[in-house]
Every structure is written in structure tokens, then in C-alpha cells.
Amino acid sequence: MKSFEPNYIYRFSKKIIKLTFQQWEYRGIAFVEIGGNCTFVDMLSDFQDGDTLLSLLKQKTSRLDFDFEDLGQDEEGENWFRAVLFSDTGKNCETEDYLDSLPKMLVGIELVDIQTED
């Protein structure tokens, strides 16, 4: 981000957040959009919940550079997901797990842009 206007956090604004998911040397990057009148610090708690992360990744405005799929619920009512992460050498790692484990794969959260909402 070239410039950060601190007054934007006290007005309704659109924030673009870069999320980095990783297991071993395999990673995936997602850019998600969050609007409203909140600070970046206020949003951090949203990334601790698998359901909230899922809804952010499934937004029409989200851009993902890895394969991600919501697998829904199993017979016991547990939510599942599948993700295919990639290494720098082009190899991939497919993971399928409970949705509650998705926040544990989140290794980076960065505010990359902020704009006032018109």
C-alpha cells in the first residue's frame, strides 16, 4: 500500500485484505473485501473463525490464486473444505479437513488497500 489515510478507518470504507494460507512449503493467497466502519484491528477476530473465513473466500469480489471448495456437512454435521496449495516449484498439496481447521492454515493477514465507500 503506497499510502494509508488514517481517517478512513472512522468512515465507511472498503478494505482489501490479503490472506496467506500455508502448509509446509505450499501456499495460497486470497484477496478479500471487507466494508463498513471498522478498524483493521477490529477485523482480526473475524479471521479466527472457519465460517467467517469461508464466507469471505466465497464472496463474488474475492480473488483466490489456489483451488478452494466448500464440501458442506458430513453425516455428523461437521463442515468440510478442500484446498489445493502450491509450492514455488509448481508442486501442489491437496488438503481436505474440517472447516474449523482453516484458520490454523492462515499464516498472513495484510491490509493492502483502503478506499472510502461512496
| CA 65 to each of CA 19, 62, 83: distance values in angstroms, whole numbers, following the listed order | 11, 10, 11
Average predicted confidence (pLDDT) for the chain: 91
Q: Which pLDDT score, from 0 to 100, does residue 40 have?
A: 77
- Cβ burial of 96 (10 Å; 0-12, 13-18, 19+) is exposed
What pTM value is reported for the model? 0.91
Name the pLDDT band for 14 (thresholds 50, 70, 90). Answer: confident
Span of 26-35, 41-50, 85-94 with lowest mean pLDDT: 41-50
